[in-house]
């Protein structure tokens, strides 16, 4: 009997030990990663459109401005150590166009040296870089010419992108041309809450959408011509749209239309050349665009939440809500890991055979009471999709540290590291240790 109890005790302690093999396990080649963006962490982005935008009262909550942000520009060594501490294999960050090319055709040597140093530090730490070329911000000169609606935009973006490839990112394999084209355009041209601050209707989105498609494709062709071995994609922000429960079947139709327009139209156009979406009574687009097909080597996915969709009589003809009683983050987004599984399955169906990189997934959670569970539940959903054949290559948590969250200012706290904005001290949250343990075990 005594032996039996001892054996039982031994068995229990073995299964409870952290050396037990994980129940949710990832391939040994899986690329664990964290993501940031230049304007949100570096500080001093004085030649950008966002800098100007922030100076106008009402544009950012509590009148905040990005200012010195997290002071990352002056803390490359320290922040590389933060990355090493997490044991990530890859780091997604953006190079700031407004710093590299503050005036059209004039490149800034300090910025070039700076980003080269950042890459050298990453390489020395054994961390693979993934560079985003445009993450919501534009140089002031580019905005003054009309931003993505300017017909010189594709050539200007391609020129900047190849400049970065030749002078900064030589040897970098993974590139994101544009972060979240749909968020960038809808907030800027429809919502009026990001530059250029237009409050147009749905039909008015078409011109900047086409401008951005052409800009991406121009950069893609120019970069691949120089270095065919690199991989280029975009970070698409995918959401789940579900009809609110009820009798009205039109809510379901609308949810499907929004799903097409928001999630797939842009990415599909880069596969086929055909831009196709329609929103009932608002807009219909079905247009072939030359030279943009076959310009994505992988599909980058940012996933955060879902929207419940309901028709309305006022423009734009629909509104969004969060299901009653749902658990939410500090910014009110529903925590919905099943949606991650759903968008991954859908992405694999839309783009058969394409590699998928999770370029962002994260939660605003200042108290850090939900983050570890958020990460685990989303990794579980992603793992399930992978076991069903969805080719996910890596996962970037958003974000390495708290940062300037656009029009929400510094309030939302997405970081694994907590930022004290008075001293710019970084402090690991408990979830940082949890995430790095997951990385080390390759599962949980
Ligand atoms: C994404 C953006 C990123 C950050 C997170 C919270 O939409 O790409 O810059 O704002 O949301």
What is the per-residue pLDDT across 326-337, written as a single tens digit (0 to 9) for each? Answer: 999 999 999 999
Please, are residues 33 and 395 in contact by the beta-carbon 8 Å criterion? yes
List Cα–Cα distances, 139 to 48, 70, 199, 294, 302, in angstroms: 4, 20, 21, 28, 24
Ligand 1 atom closest to residue 362's alpha carbon, by position in its atom list? 6
Average pLDDT score over residue span 302-325: 95
State mean pLDDT over 255-282. Answer: 96
Cα Rg for the chain, rounded, in angstroms? 22
Checking 223-230 for CB contacts under 8 A at 24+ apart, the result is: 223/158, 223/161, 223/162, 223/165, 223/175, 226/162, 226/165, 226/166, 227/165, 229/173, 230/165, 230/172, 230/173, 230/174, 230/175
Q: In the prediction, which pLDDT does 17 show? A: 43
pLDDT tens-digit series, residues 418-432: 999 999 999 999 999
Active site residue 149: no
pLDDT tens digit sequence for 78-95: 999 999 999 999 999 999
Identify the pLDDT of residue 8. 52
Q: What's the confidence (pLDDT) of residue 116?
A: 98
Place of tokens 């691949």: 224
Residue 124 confidence (pLDDT) above 90 = yes
**Is residue 15's pLDDT more than 70?**
no
- pLDDT tens for 379-417 read 999 999 999 999 999 999 999 999 999 999 999 999 999
pLDDT band of residue 270 (cuts 50, 70, 90) is very high
Q: Tell me which of 405, 411, 415 to substitute to probe ligand 1's pocket, judged by most ligand atoms within 8 Å of the beta carbon.
A: 405
The reported pLDDT for the residue numbered 4 is: 54
Identify the bridge partners of residue 231 per DSSP, sorted by sequence position: 174
Question: Would you state the pLDDT for residue 62?
Answer: 97
> Which residues line ligand 1 at a C-beta cut-off of 6 Å?
37, 179-180, 183, 237, 302, 360, 398, 405-406, 414
pLDDT, mean of residues 251-255: 97
pLDDT at 11 over 70: no
Give the pLDDT score at 7: 54
pLDDT digits (tens, 9 = 90+) for 340-387: 999 999 999 999 999 999 999 999 999 999 999 999 999 999 999 999
* Active-site residue, 310 included: no
Q: What pLDDT is recorded for position 13?
A: 47
Q: Which residues are bridge partners to 427 per DSSP?
A: 418
Q: d(Cα 415, Cα 399) in Å, to the nearest integer?
A: 5
Averaged pLDDT of the chain: 95
Chain centre to alpha carbon of residue 95:
14
Q: Which domains does the chain have, with CATH numbers?
A: 27-237+331-441 (3.20.20.80)
Q: Which of 96, 101, 180, 405 is catalytic?
A: 180
Q: What local confidence, expressed as pLDDT, does residue 410 receive?
A: 98
d(CA 212, ligand 1 centre) in Å: 18
Structure tokens of 408? Answer: 């929400």
pLDDT at 19 over 70: no
Mean pLDDT of 216-242: 98
Q: Could you tell me the two tokens for 339?
A: 């949606």
Residue among 60, 406, 415 to mutate when testing ligand 1 (max atoms within 8 A of CB) = 406
């Amino acid at each position: 009997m005594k032996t039996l109890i001892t054996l039982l005790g031994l068995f229990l302690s073995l299964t409870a030990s952290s050396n037990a093999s994980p129940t949710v396990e990832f391939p040994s080649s899986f690329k664990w990663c964290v993501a940031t963006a230049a304007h949100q962490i570096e500080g001093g982005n004085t030649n950008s459109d966002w800098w100007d935008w922030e100076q106008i009262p009402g544009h950012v909550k509590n009148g905040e401005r990005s200012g010195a942000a997290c002071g990352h520009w002056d803390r490359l060594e320290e922040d590389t150590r933060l990355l090493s501490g997490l044991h990530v294999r890859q780091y997604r960050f953006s190079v700031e166009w407004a710093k590299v090319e503050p005036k059209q055709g004039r490149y800034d040597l300090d910025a070039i040296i700076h980003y080269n140093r950042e890459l050298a530090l990453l390489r020395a730490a054994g961390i693979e870089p993934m560079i985003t070329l445009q993450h919501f911000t534009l140089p002031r000169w580019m905005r003054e010419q009309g931003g993505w609606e300017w017909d010189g935009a594709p050539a200007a973006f391609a020129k900047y992108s190849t400049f970065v490839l030749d002078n900064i990112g030589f040897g970098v394999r993974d590139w994101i041309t544009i972060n979240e084209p749909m968020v960038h355009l809808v907030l800027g041209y429809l919502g009026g809450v990001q530059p250029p601050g237009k409050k147009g209707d749905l039909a008015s989105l078409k011109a900047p959408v086409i401008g951005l498609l052409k800009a991406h494709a121009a950069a893609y062709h120019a970069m691949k011509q120089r270095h065919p071995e690199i991989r280029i994609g975009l970070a698409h922000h995918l959401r789940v749209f579900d009809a609110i429960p009820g009798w009205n079947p039109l809510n379901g139709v609308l949810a499907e239309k929004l799903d097409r327009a928001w999630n797939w139209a842009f990415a599909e156009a880069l596969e086929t050349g055909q831009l196709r979406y329609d929103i009932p009574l608002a807009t219909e687009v079905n247009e072939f665009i030359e030279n943009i097909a076959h310009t994505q080597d992988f599909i980058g996915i940012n996933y955060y939440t879902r929207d419940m969709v309901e028709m309305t009589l006022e423009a734009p003809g629909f509104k969004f809500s969060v299901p009653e009683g749902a658990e939410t983050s500090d910014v009110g987004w529903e925590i919905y890991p099943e949606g991650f599984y759903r968008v991954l399955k859908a992405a694999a169906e839309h783009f058969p055979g394409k590699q998928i990189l999770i370029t962002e997934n994260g939660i605003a959670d200042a108290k850090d009471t939900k983050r570890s569970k958020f990460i685990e539940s989303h990794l579980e959903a992603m793992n399930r999709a992978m076991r069903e054949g969805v080719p996910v290559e890596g996962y970037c948590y958003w974000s390495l540290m708290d940062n300037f969250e656009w029009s929400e200012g510094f309030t939302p706290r997405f970081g694994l590291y907590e930022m004290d904005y008075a001293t710019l001290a970084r402090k690991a949250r408990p979830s940082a240790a949890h995430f790095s343990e997951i990385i080390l075990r390759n599962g949980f």
